[in-house]
Amino acid sequence: MAAIGKSIISTKTRGDLVYVRTILIHPQHTGRAKDKKTKRLIPELYVNRITVKNGGKVVTTMNAGAALSQNPYIEITLSASKASRIQVTWRDTSGKSWNNSKSV
Amino acid sequence: MSKENEKTIGRREFLSSAAVLTATIPLALTLTKSLGASPLKSDRMPGASASAIRNVPVDSGVGTLEEELAKAGFKGATKSRQVKLRVPTIAENGAIVPVQVDAGPASKVKKISIFIDKNPTPLAITINYKPDNGKAYFNARMRMKKTSNVRALVVMKNGSKLYNSKLVKVTIGGCG
Amino acid sequence: MKYPKLTLGMIFLGVLIIIAFVVPPLPAQKGISKKDLAQTKGGLNPGELDKEGGKDLFNKVDGKAKKSCASCHTKSGPGKSLKGKAATYPKYVGMTKKVQSLQTMINYCRVNALKAKKYNLKKDKMMQMVTYIKSLSNGKRVNVKVKHPKEKAALKLGEIVFKQRRGQRNLSCEICHVKEAKKYLRMQILKKLKGASAHWPDYRTKKGKTFTIERRFQQCMKNARMSILKIGSPAMIGLELYVTKLANGKKIKAPGMVR
């Protein structure tokens, strides 16, 4: 599988809205599953904060639990007249964060 | 004859009793029809008041459903079809359940909270909106532990709260 | 003539019996509806990232010959462009004198042209490379031809593997995917493999990874409690040829997403 932290942003303009879809490669360990080989609980590691910026200004913030599925996928909208350069930042429980950006 | 022996009756009495029995058939059929109406449309949800929300115990000290709903300000929310919640009736795979919420123009919405009732942590995600979003729209793939209700709570800027909820069945799936 | 007295209790019992036998069972939803499936498969596919990973590997210089796959496989180069080529695999390749699947052909090229080590057929690098090369044929139709006598022999072997009942449960591929197709197994429909090969390699949501079709065959065999065949063996190449031939004419769209 592709390395953790790689992401894609895809945008589609429909009428006066820009649909922003983004996906991140991340294992999303909930902290409740056991490793099949070692029989120990896999420690939790999941994305807990997602920030979407448009032209440098914060537009949407999301606080998530472990409920997003593996390789989390998110889709939101932006007003087409205001959308310029979209930047998505994902941050997980270990503090690591990843950025990706795309111009509309 | 019927006076002497109470266990057996004459032909006429037997026939009249059988006629009564046959007449109950349409009653039985209408009863089953009303009971069997759309077993999957169980959209029924506990009422909006906090006291009617069932306390779902969880295994590891994270907030119960009642606590999390109260923290998110669920009290006083009214169920509304304005909150368009789109989830599958049957989820092919509990690890990937698509959840789509559409709550109208983003200028009126402050935030959306999504709850999955029977998950260990019922509060799944909270999204904070700004007018630049255009529409208060959200679409994602979530994990569900077992068959349960998925609720979307929308907190408007003027303080009013709307919600919608639907039942999603989680199956084991076919071979592998 | 003496008859038993019909008491109220007997009437109630009679009503229950009528409900049980005369009234038909309530219709239950058999499986996931098409609308729900479309919603689940909608959205971005993590397999796309494997396609990009494959592209990087394709362009990477590797091996003693100091070349990359891209050095030869250009429009005007000696290897010719690979667009549309994956649609004809598995096939007999003259210079190797064998029937090759995409994977075995990639390894042949690596050993002979790049002078590099083979990729492990089960691991991620091979999967990413196959995903990339297959995606170059997106939009074209599957076009597997069986003309050479070795191809005919491989097809026959594949058919035997497909139809042979093996293992603990005495199952064969044919039983679930042809004879009992369109029936439901725990709310999931058993599919006829008509267009299956056209969208593999696929991202499997259950495992959270992308797999090639031969790896999926192995996982299927494990679930059906059959002994697992080795990837790259003549039996597996024959099976892949047989299943891909069933998809002849379908448009390729790789990578796809399945459960």
Select from A32, A65, A79 the Cβ nearest to the Cβ of B124: A65
Domain ranges of chain A: 7-103
Nearest chain B Cα distance for residue A33, angstroms: 12
Question: Hey, are the CB atoms on B5 and C223 less than 8 Å from each other?
Answer: no
Identify whether C220 is a catalytic site residue: yes
The CA R_g of chain C, rounded to the nearest whole Å, is: 25
How far apart (Å, rounded) are the C-alpha atoms in residues C239 and C232?
Answer: 11
Q: What is the pLDDT of residues C165-186, one digit of tens each?
A: 999 899 999 998 999 888 887 7
From chain C, the residues in CB contact with A22 under 8 A are 44
Mean pLDDT of C218-224: 91
Question: Hey, are the CB atoms on B171 and C29 less than 8 Å from each other?
Answer: no
pLDDT per residue as tens, chain B (176 positions): 445 555 667 888 878 878 877 777 777 667 666 554 433 333 333 333 333 333 333 333 456 777 777 777 778 888 888 899 999 998 888 888 999 999 999 999 999 999 998 888 889 999 999 999 999 999 999 999 889 999 999 999 998 999 999 999 987 766 65
Q: What is the fold of B50-170?
A: Immunoglobulin-like (2.60.40)
Strands B90-91 and B161-170: parallel
End-to-end Cα distance, chain B: 69
Full DSSP string of B99-145: EEEEEEETTSEEEEEEEETTSSS-EEEEEE--GGGSEEEEEEEE--S
From chain C, the residues in CB contact with A73 under 8 A are 43-44
> What pLDDT does residue B20 have?
78
How far apart (Å, rounded) are the C-alpha atoms in residues B28 and A76?
Answer: 51
What are the residue ranges of helices labelled H in C60-164?
A: 69-72, 102-109, 124-135, 149-163
Select from C187, C189, C206 the Cβ nearest to the Cβ of B171: C187
Question: Which partners does chain C have (≥3 C-beta pairs < 8 Å)?
Answer: A, B
State percent of chain C over pLDDT 90. Answer: 49
Select from C5, C28, C42 the Cβ nearest to the Cβ of B6: C5
C218 closest CA partner among C240, C241, C196, C242: C240
Q: How many residues does chain B have?
A: 176
> What pLDDT does residue C1 have?
65
Mean pLDDT of A32-51: 90
Nearest chain B Cα distance for residue C122, angstroms: 19
Q: Could you report the predicted ipTM of this complex, rounded to two decimals?
A: 0.89
Q: How far is CA C28 from CA B87, B165, C214, in A?
A: 19, 22, 35
Domain ranges of chain B: 1-41, 50-170
From chain C, the residues in CB contact with B5 under 8 A are 2
Flag whether pLDDT at C133 surpasses 90. yes
Question: Hey, are the CB atoms on C205 and B93 less than 8 Å from each other?
Answer: yes
B68 closest CA partner among B133, B121, B7: B121
From chain C, the residues in CB contact with A102 under 8 A are none
> What pLDDT does residue B64 have?
74
From chain A, the residues in CB contact with C124 under 8 A are 1
Q: What is the pLDDT of residues C204-214, one digit of tens each?
A: 988 888 999 99
> What pLDDT does residue B155 have?
92
> What pLDDT does residue B33 have?
61
What is the number of other CB atoms lying within 10 angstroms of the CB of residue C213?
A: 23
> What pLDDT does residue B128 have?
94
> What pLDDT does residue B173 have?
65
Question: Hey, are the CB atoms on C44 and A8 less than 8 Å from each other?
Answer: yes
Q: How far is CA C51 from CA C127, C132, C251, in A?
A: 9, 5, 18
Q: What is the fold of A7-103?
A: Immunoglobulin-like (2.60.40)
Nearest chain B Cα distance for residue C92, angstroms: 33
DSSP state for residue C140 in the 8-state scheme:
S
